[in-house]
Amino acid sequence: MNIQIESSPTQSTLDELNVNSWPIWEKEVSQFPWFYDTEEVCYILEGEVTVTPDGGEPVTFGKGDLVTLPAGMGCHWNITQAIRKHYLFR
């Protein structure tokens, strides 16, 4: 299960994906397990998080990153700076 990160995507990429129309999710510093039934694409507006896939290596991302989290992935979220993100399940 690979987490894909595009750091500082271009405005045209964000516009093409229509990111500004996606819902916003916010969460304080915390830790929790999660399972992705479907793929999630998110654009991080604020904060930083380390996501560790079950049996995998930790991946850290934050403000300005466009991230794709794969369907079927179990993981552990460790939010180290309060997070605010646009997100889309597809």
Per-residue DSSP letter, 18: T
User: Taking 90 as the threshold, does the pLDDT of residue 1 lie above it?
Assistant: no
CATH of the domain at 50: 2.60.120.10
Q: How far apart (Å, rounded) are the C-alpha atoms in residues 1 and 4?
A: 10
pLDDT for the residue 36: 98
Beta strands in the chain (DSSP E): 4-7, 24-27, 30-35, 40-53, 59-62, 65-69, 74-89
Q: Coil, helix or strand for 12?
A: helix
CA dihedral sign of residues 57, 52, 31, 22: positive
pTM score above 0.85: yes
Q: Coil, helix or strand for 57?
A: coil
> In which domain, by residue range, is 27 found?
4-89
Number of domains within the chain:
1
Task: Dig out the tokens for 80 from the structure.
Answer: 């180290």
Q: Kindly report, residue by residue over 34-90, the tens digit of the pLDDT.
A: 999 999 999 999 999 999 999 999 999 999 999 999 999 999 999 999 999 999 999
